[in-house]
Amino acid sequence: MKLWLNRWEPLVIITILLSLVGTVNILSASFVRAEQIYGDAWFFLKRHLVYLSLGMAVLAAVIRVPPATWRNRRMLTVATVSIGLLLLLVSFTGVGTVINGSRRWLMVGGVLQFQPSELAKIVVIMLAARYLSDNRRQGGNVSLWSGPLAVAAGYAAMVLKQPDMSTATLIVAVPLLLFLIAGVSRVAWLALLTGGVAGLIGLAGFASYRLARLKAWWDPWADFDKSGYQSAQALIAIGASGLTGAGLGKGYSKFNYLPEAHTDFAFAVLCQEWGIAGAVVVTVLFGLLVFYGVQVAIRADRHGCFLSLGMILLIGCQAAVNMAMVTGLLPVMGIPLPFISYGGTALLVQFFAVAVVVAVGRTNERTA
């Protein structure tokens, strides 16, 4: 007996399940802060539901778009230039909205916030997918000295100015993974590894707050009241979870103990209230999402393979990094947990990414 009707159906169902879990968790994690700041315990939930509705609409629309659309040269050129101009506007003109010391957002209609750097992640994947599929079709060698990686580096440099090192790293890392999967020389591997380590060390040492985060990651208890506070509180929340957790809405960390409880550290609140069992379920759902996404990719044509693989890696990498960060396996980084953390543009991009993979899967079935 087949569990699924096709290979893309589980992608839609798992995405909806993660979105439902995220909606409940966002309400629980945010109502205290929402009441204190805005006098409305439902403030963040209402905004989340707006973006969730838009995300569902994006999912329904994009799954019907032929994947070949995303390799159109004119479309890619317009998208590349448009995102570059938006990043310049936010990073260098002072037009963007400042939140937590970073200028990353543009206000839309005075109500909704829009983050251009999230769209940059999608554009560089599309550029890489076109380049790699064309390269493979023509029998050429994959080179790191290419247009897509140059665009990714340019985007990342502008995002670093905001500053947002985590997003800048993702903008470069995901297309790089595609290049590495496609195959590059051992010399390129070595150069990339050496340059990447040196670059990360340099960026960490360039800003004192990044160096403080590294120290806090190594021992959050050494500076509990300052740089280690967020990591320590996350570990306390997770450590108090038990098998089934404190119960929905009963976690205490969101009561002004854990900063960013509804955004970057939403997974800590989920662990505390849903327990180890809930955390395992969410982790398995992400694992299955990546698994079925890869299954779609390996059955697609060259372009569809790289495109869908890039999209599913974007979600999988963000999920893995966020959960590793919250559990103390990685330093604190501003990377939200897809579908679980509160976020507007990020949520729309996540739905778009899944929709592209589903569209590739639907195309696979029609051409099989």
Q: Summarize pLDDT for 294-330 with one digit per residue, the tens.
A: 999 999 999 999 999 999 999 999 999 999 999 988 8
The three-state secondary structure class of 142 is coil
Predicted local distance difference test score (pLDDT) of residue 139: 58
Task: Name the band, by pLDDT with cuts 50, 70 and 90, for residue 138.
Answer: low
Task: Name the band, by pLDDT with cuts 50, 70 and 90, for residue 136.
Answer: low
Q: For residue range 352-362, what is the model confidence (pLDDT) as tens digits?
A: 999 999 999 99
Residue 337 falls in which region: left (phi positive, over 0), alpha (psi -120 to 50) or beta: beta
Query: What is the model's pTM?
Result: 0.91
Average pLDDT over residues 21-41: 91
Supply the Cα-derived Rg of the chain in whole angstroms.
20
Q: Is the pLDDT of residue 35 over 80?
A: yes
The one-letter amino acid at 257: Y
Q: Is 267 within 8 Å of 29 (Cβ atoms)?
A: no
Q: Is 7 within 8 Å of 364 (Cβ atoms)?
A: yes
> Which tops the pLDDT comparison, 264 or 136?
264
Q: For residue range 228-279, what is the model confidence (pLDDT) as tens digits?
A: 778 888 888 888 788 888 888 888 888 878 888 888 899 999 999 999 999 9
